[in-house]
Amino acid sequence: MPIDWHAIQEKWRKKWEEQKIFDAEPDPSKRKYFVTVAYPYPNSPQHIGHGRTYTLADVHARYMRMQGYNVLFPMGFHYTGTPILAMSRRLAANDEELVDTFTSIYKVPKEKIASFKEPINIARYFHNEIKQGMQEMGYSIDWRREFTTIDDVYTKFISWQFRKLKEKGLVAQGSHPVGWCPNDGNAVGQHDTIGDVEPEFTEYTLIKFELDGYKVPTATLRPETVFGVTNLWINPEAEYVKASVDCENWIISSKCADKLKFLNRNINVQSKLSGKELAGKKFGVPLANRTVTMFPASFVEPGDGTGIVMSVPAHAPYDYQALEDLKQNKSLLSSFSIDNNQLEAVKPIVIIESEGYSGVPALAVINKYKIKTQDDPKLEEATSDIYSHEFYKGKMLDNTMHYAGMNVARAREKVKQDMLDKKLADIMLDLIKPVRCRCGAECVVKLLSDQWFINYLDANWKSLAHDCINSMQLMPDEIKPEFDYTVDWLKERACARKSGLGTKLPWDEDWIIESLSDSVIYMAYYIIAKYVNNGSLRDAQVNDAFFDYVLLGNGNANGVAKSCKISVELLNTIRNEFEYFYPVDSRHSGRDLVPNHLTFFIFNHVEIFPESKWPRQIVVNGSVLMEGKKMSKSFGNIVPLRSAVRDHGADAIRVSILVAAELLQDADFTLDAVRGIRERLERIYDMCVQFTKKDSAKLELEDQWILSKLQHIVENTTNAMDKLRVREALHNIIYSMDQDIHWYLKRATAKERSNDSISGVVRQVLDARVRMLAPFAPFISEEMWEALGNDRSVMLASWPKFDETKVNFVADESETLIINLLADAHNIIKVTKMKPKKVFIYTATSWKWNAYMKALSMVMQGKINFGEIMKQLVSDTSTSKVKETPEIVKRMIDDILSDPLNSRQRKARLEFIDEVQIFEDARSFLGKELDADIAIYREDDSSRVDPKNKAQVARPYRPALYME
């Protein structure tokens, strides 16, 4: 019977809600587990990509519940910030692209869009969409704790957070660089940029070369390499200007002149000129009495730095390769007044020596990475390779004036400072990579003079953040260096804007706290939200004393209750609930939030809360590809989550997203996979319906085998789940178990066993399987669980426990023996292309078993030398027969060595197994599988039929085969 997925989704959602299965209340008799996932930003419906993070968090929550924890898994909605505002403006202006996205991709009804001129209506609409999607996906959320970041009590909570930071001196106003959109006149963070890129910037040194009284600055991160300059690079097609910059005359790109204005430099453009006009001219090198030539180069981006680049071919692989390319293509120079001799005269000047490099270091690293042209993407890697190598290990050579002998790290600072003092250099903040605002404008760095910022530069604060990272669990742990790097890298960060939705800065109401600053400790608010939503706590009753008491335990309950006009009882109930559920046990998010949100989350927790309330775990996941491609509007391959659920059902979507990859890998989502998963789920359900009889008679060999195998799967899957290796877990539950059951049924059928006689065993396997499937495919698992005769939700059942007493090594090895024999036989049939009427199996004789066990025990002690093993065997009368056939011993040792370690250990414990008995048990099965008569003989059976004398090659676990 086909499954009506929608009906079962409806049915179970209703039951869960009625039974309040996901409402978490403090219960001191149970261990608690608090799982949170980054709350969504309601400016679009969720798609399959979002589905991965939320589904993973839900699976985690459900798994921990089944492990006996009292799990709290809540959800809120993040309204804060400018993107919704910007969207509303674009819609009001009838922006075609956005209207099209809303109607054709997001399927927003036309009449709704008219109301979107009010930003709050956009937020409310998508909030509702996302919430319904989460419910349809079956997320086990305690919805009593839902809130938005513009709720009155929430804004009081954020005001409290900011007053705390300000008291500690960590929020300040001052001149401060921010990523900036010149078009919107507003600071930009990751959420405001195309592709969600964090605008990262750094401080460049501008080295001033000279031409006819003009300074020609070039931006660099390696000022110490000025001694190795051989030439300059300029883009001949780009526009440059002569301008006075704070009363000094400079030549820079037009784009650079624009950027300097945002850095509060005083710029007066005098005239424009093309890059071509400067090519071929000679420029004075600062600190040195020599000149270098300007060469044209199309790779120079006029928007990077000053649009002019100094060339240090001995230490910069890009420069070395660009010069080589130019020498190969001299005709490029013909339209500039440069002759070939000028180019040929350029020779790399080595100024740094470092262990491991001789000659020209840039050339060495180019050869190492096998780079052939300047377009090779490996140049980036080569550059950072030599950059860090020379920084840590390099020493300045004799041709670097009084810097000779200094290590590079020190020389870099010295050269920079000396040149700044002599006005031979300047500094400039610039973006590390170009970033575009969502409005399309190219972002710049702006120095804001009255900006409010959070001082993440504070050394004590950084060290506490590192302590927290070191004490918490990161999943996967390979993500840790990214956190440490971010903590070290973070500087002051703008925390307020002039526009957008959110909480006003409590002491300066012209400012609104921005979205990456009001979303760092909100997990604590889920405790309070429940009391706001059920009406027992009102906005007017909440003040700083309330938060101090509930969240930090500061103050006196009677005094605080009085000041809030609430009962001491209620106050303490809220406080106790916070004490019970906090800290966060697991925080889930996509990897893109490591450099901002997740790190801010750590910073703010360590500052505001005592160590006992610091987060205990962060789980980071990668992104989702759609049929192998990145999801994007331009590919038209964004699938909204709700429509996917409508088309395929929630369970198949959930499993397909998670089965495709482990945590950090990209998960490829394909519709074929979804269909395949759905069919498999339906088959598992059918089986639950089919096998109704609960008990079994005597256990046969295959029964013992599958029950033992089940224990291995449970043990393995539990280990995988504890590390959230969900792909491995799902492969066990869905694919490996399918294979095992398939094999088992074939074995049982061959013996003509009735369904009733195997039903008890099959149900034991299904019982564990459905429990393990439940966190992943909750709806169909409930149906299966019900079909197996249970009357309570599977969510209230426990996760299966590994039971060592059910592990049966004899059964494990016996079945493996049959599996291998069948594979060997099929192989021979395939190779010889014969169609056997009769298959003869010969099992090894007892002295071979003695020899095998001895050899095995020697190998396990690390003695794998053939001569040594032979000597031992020959000296023992029970195995001295090996003298006649040393070849057999050699092959036994090979057998043992090719066996995995756990299998060797099992075999060593088993001693001897009766292979004839095992094959007799499987005789009918083997006959069916091979479509032939089966004859089974011991090697030393004198009555055996053995026309080709094959029996003598039989070895333990490796019977000999003959077919005719």
Site size for Zn ion (CB under 5 A): 6
Nearest to 92 by CA among 118, 131, 74, 58: 118
Q: What is each CA distance from 9 to 134, 529, 629, 782, in whole angstroms?
A: 12, 28, 30, 10
Number of other residues whose CB lies within 10 A of the CB of residue 22 = 22
Pick the closer one to Zn ion by CB: 439 or 552.
439
With CB under 5 A as the contact rule, the residue among 56, 181, 496, 762 that binds Zn ion is 181
| CB 189, min distance to Zn ion, A | 12
With CB under 5 A as the contact rule, the residue among 287, 429, 441, 673 that binds Zn ion is 441
Stretch that binds Zn ion, among 121-129, 220-228, 267-275, 432-440 (CB under 5 A): 432-440
Pick the closer one to Zn ion by CB: 184 or 728.
184
| CB 495, min distance to Zn ion, A | 19
| CB 439, min distance to Zn ion, A | 3
With CB under 5 A as the contact rule, the residue among 363, 429, 439, 916 that binds Zn ion is 439
DSSP 660: T
| CB 335, min distance to Zn ion, A | 38
Pick the closer one to Zn ion by CB: 180 or 387.
180
Q: In what order do the strands lie in the sheet with 624-626?
A: 629-630, 624-626, 667-669
Pick the closer one to Zn ion by CB: 446 or 575.
446
Pick the closer one to Zn ion by CB: 184 or 458.
184
Residues ≥6 apart with Cβ < 8 Å to 880:
873, 874
Pick the closer one to Zn ion by CB: 323 or 443.
443
Nearest to 55 by CA among 659, 583, 638, 639: 659
* Residues 712, 806: Cα–Cα separation, whole Å: 10
| CB 183, min distance to Zn ion, A | 4
Q: Hey, is 501 helix, strand or coil?
A: strand
* Residues 656, 726: Cα–Cα separation, whole Å: 11
Pick the closer one to Zn ion by CB: 82 or 225.
82
| CB 87, min distance to Zn ion, A | 12
Q: Which is it for the CA torsion 729, 730, 736, 738, positive or negative? A: positive
β-partners of residue 201 are 431
Residue 98 binding Zn ion, by CB under 5 A: no
Cβ 242 vs Cβ 271: under 8 Å: yes
Pick the closer one to Zn ion by CB: 349 or 439.
439
Stretch that binds Zn ion, among 283-291, 414-422, 430-438, 939-947 (CB under 5 A): 430-438
Query: C-alpha angle 453/454/459, rounded to 5°?
Result: 130
Q: Where are the beta strands (DSSP E) in 753-837?
A: none
With CB under 5 A as the contact rule, the residue among 245, 323, 352, 437 that binds Zn ion is 437
Pairing of β 425-431 and β 201-211: antiparallel
| CB 508, min distance to Zn ion, A | 24
The 3-class SS string of 66-108 reads HCCCEEECCCCECCCECHHHHHHHHHHCCCHHHHHHHHHHCCC
Q: What is each CA distance from 886 to 851, 865, 883, in whole angstroms?
A: 11, 13, 6
* Residues 139, 16: Cα–Cα separation, whole Å: 11
Stretch that binds Zn ion, among 174-182, 242-250, 379-387, 427-435 (CB under 5 A): 174-182
Q: Hey, is 962 helix, strand or coil?
A: strand
The 132-171 site mask, x for binding Zn ion (CB under 5 A), equals ----------------------------------------
φ, ψ of residue 270 in degrees (nearest 5): -95, -45
Stretch that binds Zn ion, among 22-30, 175-183, 221-229, 917-925 (CB under 5 A): 175-183
With CB under 5 A as the contact rule, the residue among 58, 142, 184, 390 that binds Zn ion is 184
Pick the closer one to Zn ion by CB: 86 or 371.
86
Q: Which is it for the CA torsion 376, 381, 385, 386, positive or negative? A: positive
φ, ψ of residue 457 in degrees (nearest 5): -80, -20
Q: Hey, is 111 helix, strand or coil?
A: helix
Stretch that binds Zn ion, among 93-101, 437-445, 771-779, 905-913 (CB under 5 A): 437-445
* Residues 427, 395: Cα–Cα separation, whole Å: 24
Stretch that binds Zn ion, among 184-192, 389-397, 707-715, 724-732 (CB under 5 A): 184-192
* Residues 117, 111: Cα–Cα separation, whole Å: 12
Q: What is each CA distance from 42 to 81, 121, 437, 514, in whole angstroms?
A: 11, 10, 19, 15
Q: Hey, is 348 helix, strand or coil?
A: coil
| CB 366, min distance to Zn ion, A | 40
φ, ψ of residue 222 in degrees (nearest 5): -125, 70
Length of the chain in residues, anyone? Answer: 964
Cβ 614 vs Cβ 603: under 8 Å: no
| CB 82, min distance to Zn ion, A | 9
Please give the helix or strand (H or E) that residue 513 lies within, else none. strand 512-513
| CB 184, min distance to Zn ion, A | 4
With CB under 5 A as the contact rule, the residue among 104, 183, 268, 857 that binds Zn ion is 183
Nearest to 58 by CA among 144, 135, 146, 145: 135
Stretch that binds Zn ion, among 156-164, 440-448, 469-477, 638-646 (CB under 5 A): 440-448
Pick the closer one to Zn ion by CB: 287 or 441.
441
Pick the closer one to Zn ion by CB: 187 or 707.
187
Pick the closer one to Zn ion by CB: 181 or 726.
181
DSSP 40: P
Pick the closer one to Zn ion by CB: 86 or 794.
86
Pick the closer one to Zn ion by CB: 441 or 699.
441
| CB 43, min distance to Zn ion, A | 15
| CB 442, min distance to Zn ion, A | 9
The 3-class SS string of 592-622 reads HHHHHHHHHHHHHHHHHCCHHHCCCEEEEEC
| CB 437, min distance to Zn ion, A | 3
| CB 624, min distance to Zn ion, A | 27
| CB 264, min distance to Zn ion, A | 20
Pick the closer one to Zn ion by CB: 98 or 364.
98
Pick the closer one to Zn ion by CB: 192 or 783.
192
Instruction: Please name the residue that has the structure tokens 């909480």.
Output: 503
| CB 391, min distance to Zn ion, A | 36
Pick the closer one to Zn ion by CB: 184 or 319.
184
CA-based end-to-end distance of the chain: 45
Pick the closer one to Zn ion by CB: 188 or 362.
188
Q: In what order do the strands lie in the sheet with 960-963?
A: 933-938, 838-843, 960-963
Q: Per the structure block, which two tokens stand in for 283?
A: 């420029």
Stretch that binds Zn ion, among 168-176, 369-377, 438-446, 457-465 (CB under 5 A): 438-446
| CB 177, min distance to Zn ion, A | 17
Stretch that binds Zn ion, among 179-187, 342-350, 911-919, 925-933 (CB under 5 A): 179-187
| CB 188, min distance to Zn ion, A | 7
Residues forming the site for Zn ion (CB under 5 A): 181, 183-184, 437, 439, 441
